[in-house]
Structure 1
Amino acid sequence: MKLINHYLPLLSLFILGSCNAQKSEKTTSLKNSYKGDFYIGTALSADQINEKNVKEDSLIHKEFNAITAENIMKSMFVHPAKDKYDFTLSDKFVAYGKKNKMFIHGHTLIWHSQLAPWMEQIKDSAEMKAFMKDHITTIVSKYKGSINSWDVVNEALNDDGTLRKSIFLNTLGESYLADAFKLAAKADPKVDLYYNDYNNEAPAKREGTINLIKKVRAAGGKVDGVGIQAHWRLESPSIEEIEKSILAYSALGLKVAFTELDITVLPNPWDLKGADVNQNFEGSAKMNPYPKALPDSIQTKLAERYASIFKLFLKHKDKISRVTFWGVHDGQSWLNDWPIKGRTNYPLLFDTKLKPKKAYYSVMQLKEVKQ
């Protein structure tokens, strides 16, 4: 008995050490590794918001500390009729974020795409103004103090930096941009307000984004940040152009967020760039080269690409507020159906079985070495 008592303290230390090691192993995650640098987010589908898959839900809790809704907060879903709002899923989305102590991002208030059919029929400027005021004020006021940041205006620019001829521009002129930001700020003065777009790391569109934000601010609108969607490719855009964009936007006093990060590994029809959801192309075997699995050589390229991107993000972590992946795992990615339906893409850090890919470890390893 004395012998056992003698070794009890050592046994306790061993058990405690084992528990701590297990605890440490369990808490190794993207969100913990990048804690103090920037939020690591993901976009949630309706099923994920409804917590239909226990394994997916567990992965989301473990790896991410910021969330964006993929679709359910877009106009066609949240405001289906002129006198009707449907907040069923957006309420669940916000509750999900609160329950899991996550940063909650609202996407999106004013966007030319995924409008409800009744919105597309608006031709009169007075009616459009009334719609914008009601839509923005109602939604932002409802989630005042619960949603941490909003994409106020999404994709208002063409790739050459000129204003997109959307239903909003056609009915109201470019004043709609400043009006949208003013309305959002009035509804919730403390929430961060973003302008969000794709390809706005490219020189012409970057310049257009800077001009847009300067004009909005000159007209009295509040803009806190710019969202770079980051629907990128294995070879482009260059790290240099991404860095120039971080520096240029930050120089305006803007927070920089990478809002919809994914990296396509598939051929790009007609060298298509960006994320215009209205473009579609018929498929071919040539355009879907990896229907069953991604070759190791491409896995390695994807890992190297993600590592170079996150190395840059860490270099400028003082300027970056959030990095959000557009989806939790490859099976969920919109890139499986865009711009060609039925392809198999592999753009994220987790595969269809929710297993971390080589790209995941390349991003994690950056935090294992001294910055």
Structure 2
Amino acid sequence: MNRYRKKIAIGLAIIGIGLTAASPLPGDEASQGLKDYYQNYFPIGVAVRPSDLEGGAESNLILKQFNSITAENAMKMGPIHPAENRYFWRDADSIVNFAVRNNLKMRGHTLCWHTQAPSWMFKDSLGNDVSKAVLLDRLRTHIHTVVSRYKGKVYAWDVVNEVIADDSSFFRNSKWYQITGEEFIEQAFRFAHEADPKAVLFYNDYNTEIPAKREKIYKLLKNLLAKGVPIHGVGLQAHWSINTPSREELVKSIELFSSLGLQIQFTELDISVYSGNQGGQLIRGEQQKQVAPFTPEMEQKQLEKYKMVFDVFRQYQKNITGVTFWNLSDKYTWLDARGRKNYPLLFDTNLQPKKAYWEVVKF
């Protein structure tokens, strides 16, 4: 009787395993990472800092989970080109070398952006705005120098970042736009293509699931393509929250931009545990650094949102050539710098997978 009961128990256990085959077994959990679950779909990347790559738990997590990396800040214009005749290569070099050494895909971010652009770029020796010709020449020099240095190592670049306005205007009223009009956008892509004809070139922006802004981005891209500008993809940043975007708007964005023949990458994915656009934390004046708990309600809502967006990503795998998380774990995220502690990623403050992680890999 005892032997019979044991056989039944074993049989039920086997059936149970079969019914929950989508959930990883202990051996799978130990050996597989996000990159392995999605190896037949698209690369899975992460934005990194040099300190993440120093051989500790963070670098081990990167190598287990991801097969693509992006420099979070080290390649932006201000950090890498602080003065007209001076470049700071150390941090960017360390990230690129880590990618090459570990056979990871390397994305470059970003060649032209209104934020973190050094003030010298726009001024002459007297402190006056430079002419359009001078600014475009400086942009060309910057792009050629940076892209050429990493030619053959960086496979894709976010060339132009966030030029579309969030309000009723079309273009953001940046110094780039004030001095050159919209010409800097086209020229940035042409300069990048000159420097590395094999690099995949992206326009990158946020709030791409909001209809009004989405339409403006679509018009911009359509016009650039009509001019023969070498643009190959659109980066949808994916700084989302537990209540945005809806499945419907996410699908609309993928289908609309794919209709232009452009590849899609989700370049800066995080899902804030607070409601609102852009993570819900970027509220003007809200600068306090509260250490709020990661509540079960936050956990459940975040889990559901991650499950939904990755369901959509897999559905449109033929259009998507990469998904990159913006930061590695909840231990450090860019959202923390803007207010309360946020928990927007798949790994917790101890670098362990959260419940949302298992929803992302359960398919």
8 Å contact kept, 1:151–1:195:
yes
Aligned partner of 2:263 in structure 1 is: 255
CA gap of 1:188–1:89, structure 2 versus 1, over 3 A, is: same
| Alignment of 1:82 onto 2:89 | no
Q: Which runs of 5+ in 1 are unaligned?
A: 1-20, 367-371
CA gap of 1:92–1:110, structure 2 versus 1, over 3 A, is: same
| Alignment of 1:34 onto 2:42 | no
Q: Give the 5 Å matches for 1:287-298.
A: 291-298=291-298
Residue identity opposite 1:28 in structure 2: Q
Calculate percent identity across the aligned residue pairs. 41
Q: Which secondary structure does the structure 1 equivalent of 2:278 belong to?
A: coil
Q: How many residues are treated as equivalent by the alignment?
A: 333
8 Å contact kept, 1:257–1:320:
yes
How far apart are residue 275 of structure 1 and its match?
Answer: 7.6
How far apart are residue 27 of structure 1 and its match?
Answer: 2.3
CA gap of 1:275–1:311, structure 2 versus 1, over 3 A, is: closer
Distance 1:219 1:279 in 2: 38
Distance 1:152 1:324 in 2: 16
Aligned partner of 1:215 in structure 2 is: 223
Aligned partner of 2:6 in structure 1 is: none
8 Å contact kept, 2:240–2:269:
yes
Q: Which secondary structure does the structure 2 equivalent of 1:324 belong to?
A: strand
Residue identity opposite 1:47 in structure 2: S
How far apart are residue 316 of structure 1 and its match?
Answer: 0.4
8 Å contact kept, 2:78–2:117:
yes
Q: Which runs of 5+ in 2 are unaligned?
A: 1-24, 124-128
| Alignment of 1:45 onto 2:42 | no
Residue identity opposite 1:169 in structure 2: Y
Q: TM-score, normalised by structure 2?
A: 0.87
How far apart are residue 282 of structure 1 and its match?
Answer: 2.8
Match of 2:346 among 337, 346, 349: 349
Q: TM-score, normalised by structure 1?
A: 0.85
How far apart are residue 117 of structure 1 and its match?
Answer: 2.8
The one-character-per-residue Cα deviations of 1:256-285 (angstroms, maximum 9, x if unpaired) are 0001010111255xxxx3389997423569
How far apart are residue 331 of structure 1 and its match?
Answer: 1.8
| Alignment of 1:335 onto 2:335 | yes
Aligned partner of 1:117 in structure 2 is: 119
How far apart are residue 365 of structure 1 and its match?
Answer: 1.0
Residue identity opposite 1:165 in structure 2: N
The one-character-per-residue Cα deviations of 1:191-228 (angstroms, maximum 9, x if unpaired) are 10000000012111111111111222223311100000
8 Å contact kept, 2:242–2:274:
no
| Alignment of 1:359 onto 2:356 | yes
| Alignment of 1:131 onto 2:138 | yes
How far apart are residue 322 of structure 1 and its match?
Answer: 0.6
Distance 1:96 1:280 in 2: 37
Q: Which secondary structure does the structure 1 equivalent of 2:331 belong to?
A: helix
How far apart are residue 60 of structure 1 and its match?
Answer: 0.5
8 Å contact kept, 1:200–1:228:
yes
